[in-house]
Structure 1
Amino acid sequence: MFERLADIVVRHPKAIVALWVVALLAAAYPALSSPSVFQYDMTSMMPSDTESAKGAEILGSDYFYPTAAASTIILVEALDESAQEVSEALAAALDAELADWSVNRGLREKYGDSVQITAGKLGVFDDRYFQATVSSMILFGIEYPALPDGSSLNRTSYVPDIREMTAQALESIADPGLKEAVEASYVTGSDAITYDTMTAATADMEKIDPVSILLIFILIGLFFRSIVTAAIPPMVIGMAYAIVLGAVFFVGQIMGIYYITPILVLVSMLGAGCDYCIFIISRYREERKRGSDGETAIRESVKWAGESILTSGCSVIIGFGIMAFCSFSMVSTMGIALALGIVVALIASLTLIPSLLAIFGDRLFWPSTMDTYAQGSRAMKGWYGKWSSRGQRYFAGTVKASMRHSKALVVAVILITLPLTYVAVTSAPSYDMISTMPDSESKQGVSVISAGIGGGMIMPTYIVMKVDAFADIDPEAETYVPRDNAEQFYRDMSELTGSLLEMRTQGQENISITYGPTDGDTLFDGSPAHQRLFERLVSFLPQSTQEAIAYLEEVLGVTGYEAICEVWYLLTDEEKYTADYMLTYTMGAVSQVFEEDGRDYQYVKVTVVTKEEPMSDLSIKTVSQLYSAESGFAGSHSYVNGSYITGAAVMTYEVSEIVTEDFDYIKAAVILLLILLLFLVMRSYVTPIRAVLTILMSIMWTLGLTFILFDQLMGVPVVWIVPIVLFVICLGLGMDYDILLTTRIKENVMKGMSNDEAIEAAVMRSGAVITLCGLIMAGAFSTLMFSTSPMLQEFGFALGFAIAIDALFIRTYIVPAIMHLLGDWNWKGPGSAVIRTRGRDPSRRCRGGERRIR
Structure 2
Amino acid sequence: IIIKEVNNQSIIIQLINEIINQNTFNEFIAKNITATFIAKNIFNNIKYNPYFYFNNLTFIKFLIKIINNNNLNNTIRDIIINNDLKDFPIILKDDIKSIFIDETHGIFLIIVFSNHYPSDVEVEKDLKVFDKIKKDTKINNAEIYITGISLLSHEIKIGAENALYTIIPLGLVITFLIVSLYFRSFVAGAVVLALFTIVIVTAFALNYIVLGIWLNRNISFVSPSIVLVLTLGLCSDYSVYLLRRYQLERNEGKSKDEALVTVTYWSSRGVITSSLAVFFSYVILSLMNVPLFGDTAIANVIAVASTMITCLLFFPSLLYALGDKVFWPKRTKGYEIKLSKVYEFNLKHKNEIVLLLTAITLVSLLFVSNITTVLDVPPLMPPSEVQKGTLLFYSTIGSSISPIYIYVEGNGKVLIDENLNSTYLNYISSIADNISKIKDVKYVYTLDRPFGEKIDLNNVFSNETIKKIFLPSIERFIGTSNNGVLIEVVINKQPFSLDAIKVLQEIRSAIPSNKEFKVYIDGVTQMSYDSKTVTDGVTPIILLGLILVIGILLFLQLISVLIPIRLILTILSSVAWSLALLYIAYSLSFNLPIINAVPLFLVVTMLGVGVDYDIFLLTRVREEVLKGKSDEEAIKIALEKTGTSIMILGLLLGITFLLLLIPDFPLLNEIGFAIGLSVLFDSFIIVPFFVPSIMLIAKKWNWWPSKLKR
* TM > 0.5: yes
Paired AA for residue 392 in structure 2: V
- Matched residue SS, 1:185: coil
Cα gap change, 1:302 to 1:641, in 2 (>3 Å)? same
Task: Tell me by how many angstroms 1:639 deviates.
Answer: 7.3
Specify the alignment match of 2:279 in structure 1: 317
Matches within 5 A, 1:101-500: 129-132=101-104, 135-144=106-115, 154-172=118-136, 179-181=138-140, 183-250=142-209, 251-253=211-213, 254=215, 255-328=217-290, 330-369=292-331, 372-373=332-333, 388=336, 391-392=337-338, 395-454=339-398, 456-467=399-410, 469=412, 471-473=414-416, 480-483=418-421, 489=425, 493-494=428-429, 496-500=431-435
Structure 1 unaligned regions, length at least 5:
1-80, 88-122, 146-152, 174-178, 374-383, 474-478, 524-528, 535-564, 595-601, 839-854
Task: Tell me by how many angstroms 1:576 deviates.
Answer: 4.4
Higher gyration radius (CA): 2
Structure 1 residues 411-437: Cα deviation after superposition (integer angstroms, max 9, x where no partner): 111211111112212321233122211
Paired AA for residue 479 in structure 2: S
- 2:550 aligned with 1:590: no
1:658 to 534, 557, 570: 534
Paired AA for residue 144 in structure 2: S
Give distance in 2, aligned partners of 1:328 and 1:627: 23
Cα gap change, 1:816 to 1:181, in 2 (>3 Å)? same
Alpha-carbon contact 1:159-1:192 (below 8 Å) kept = yes
Task: Tell me by how many angstroms 1:327 deviates.
Answer: 3.8
Give distance in 2, aligned partners of 1:828 and 1:218: 42
Specify the alignment match of 2:503 in structure 1: 622
Matches within 5 A, 1:731-742: 731-742=607-618
Give distance in 1, aligned partners of 2:268 and 2:460: 90
TM-score, normalization by structure 2: 0.82
Give distance in 1, aligned partners of 2:481 and 2:129: 42
Cα gap change, 1:128 to 1:777, in 2 (>3 Å)? closer
- Matched residue SS, 2:102: coil
Cα gap change, 1:482 to 1:430, in 2 (>3 Å)? closer
Specify the alignment match of 1:24 in structure 2: none
Matches within 5 A, 1:792-807: 792-807=668-683
Give distance in 2, aligned partners of 1:472 and 1:718: 46
Paired AA for residue 431 in structure 1: L
Alpha-carbon contact 2:375-2:531 (below 8 Å) kept = no
Cα gap change, 1:625 to 1:301, in 2 (>3 Å)? same
Structure 1 residues 618-644: Cα deviation after superposition (integer angstroms, max 9, x where no partner): 1111111111112xx23xxx5752222
Task: Tell me by how many angstroms 1:716 deviates.
Answer: 1.6
Alpha-carbon contact 2:414-2:478 (below 8 Å) kept = no
Alpha-carbon contact 1:756-1:820 (below 8 Å) kept = yes
- 2:384 aligned with 1:503: no
Task: Tell me by how many angstroms 1:500 deviates.
Answer: 2.7
Cα gap change, 1:183 to 1:360, in 2 (>3 Å)? same
Give distance in 2, aligned partners of 1:192 and 1:744: 53
1:513 to 439, 443, 450: 443
Structure 1 residues 338-391: Cα deviation after superposition (integer angstroms, max 9, x where no partner): 12211111122122222222222111112112xx33xxxxxxxxxx7xx64xx1
- Matched residue SS, 1:644: strand
Task: Tell me by how many angstroms 1:733 deviates.
Answer: 0.6
Task: Tell me by how many angstroms 1:217 deviates.
Answer: 1.3
Alpha-carbon contact 2:118-2:150 (below 8 Å) kept = no
- Matched residue SS, 1:667: helix
Alpha-carbon contact 1:280-1:306 (below 8 Å) kept = yes
Alpha-carbon contact 2:239-2:311 (below 8 Å) kept = yes
Task: Tell me by how many angstroms 1:610 deviates.
Answer: 2.2
Give distance in 2, aligned partners of 1:160 and 1:444: 18
1:815 to 658, 672, 691: 691
Give distance in 2, aligned partners of 1:695 and 1:438: 32
Structure 1 residues 278-332: Cα deviation after superposition (integer angstroms, max 9, x where no partner): 1111111111111122222222211111111111111111212211210446433
Paired AA for residue 701 in structure 1: W
Task: Tell me by how many angstroms 1:335 deviates.
Answer: 1.8
Alpha-carbon contact 1:83-1:136 (below 8 Å) kept = no
- Matched residue SS, 1:258: coil
TM-score, normalization by structure 1: 0.69
Give distance in 2, aligned partners of 1:764 and 1:779: 23
- Matched residue SS, 2:496: coil
Structure 1 residues 43-80: Cα deviation after superposition (integer angstroms, max 9, x where no partner): xxxxxxxxxxxxxxxxxxxxxxxxxxxxxxxxxxxxxx
Alpha-carbon contact 1:269-1:341 (below 8 Å) kept = yes
User: What is the number of residues matched between the two proteins?
Assistant: 621
- The alignment-based identity, stated in percent, is 25
Alpha-carbon contact 2:102-2:108 (below 8 Å) kept = no
Mean CA deviation greater in 606-615 or 425-434: 425-434
Give distance in 2, aligned partners of 1:86 and 1:138: 17
Matches within 5 A, 1:668-747: 668-747=544-623
Give distance in 2, aligned partners of 1:194 and 1:715: 23
Alpha-carbon contact 1:261-1:334 (below 8 Å) kept = yes
Cα gap change, 1:216 to 1:245, in 2 (>3 Å)? same
Specify the alignment match of 2:524 in structure 1: 648
Give distance in 1, aligned partners of 2:153 and 2:414: 39
Alpha-carbon contact 1:237-1:348 (below 8 Å) kept = no
Structure 1 residues 218-253: Cα deviation after superposition (integer angstroms, max 9, x where no partner): 211111011111121122112201111111112123
Structure 1 residues 670-724: Cα deviation after superposition (integer angstroms, max 9, x where no partner): 1011111111111112111111111122111221221112111221221111111
Give distance in 2, aligned partners of 1:465 and 1:412: 58
Give distance in 2, aligned partners of 1:409 and 1:750: 27
Paired AA for residue 361 in structure 2: T
Specify the alignment match of 1:559 in structure 2: none
Cα gap change, 1:349 to 1:204, in 2 (>3 Å)? same
Specify the alignment match of 1:603 in structure 2: 484
Alpha-carbon contact 1:467-1:641 (below 8 Å) kept = yes
Alpha-carbon contact 1:396-1:764 (below 8 Å) kept = yes
Specify the alignment match of 2:45 in structure 1: none
Alpha-carbon contact 1:156-1:195 (below 8 Å) kept = yes
Structure 1 residues 383-413: Cα deviation after superposition (integer angstroms, max 9, x where no partner): x7xx64xx11xx1011111121111111111
Alpha-carbon contact 1:438-1:789 (below 8 Å) kept = yes
Alpha-carbon contact 1:326-1:332 (below 8 Å) kept = yes
Paired AA for residue 322 in structure 1: I
Task: Tell me by how many angstroms 1:573 deviates.
Answer: 4.4
Cα gap change, 1:787 to 1:819, in 2 (>3 Å)? same
Structure 2 unaligned regions, length at least 5:
1-75, 83-94
Alpha-carbon contact 1:271-1:777 (below 8 Å) kept = yes
Give distance in 1, aligned partners of 2:139 and 2:422: 56
Give distance in 2, aligned partners of 1:347 and 1:570: 73
Structure 1 residues 644-691: Cα deviation after superposition (integer angstroms, max 9, x where no partner): 221121022112212221221111011011111111111112111111
- Matched residue SS, 2:694: helix
Question: What RMSD in Å do the two structures reach over aligned CA positions?
Answer: 2.9
Cα gap change, 1:86 to 1:269, in 2 (>3 Å)? farther
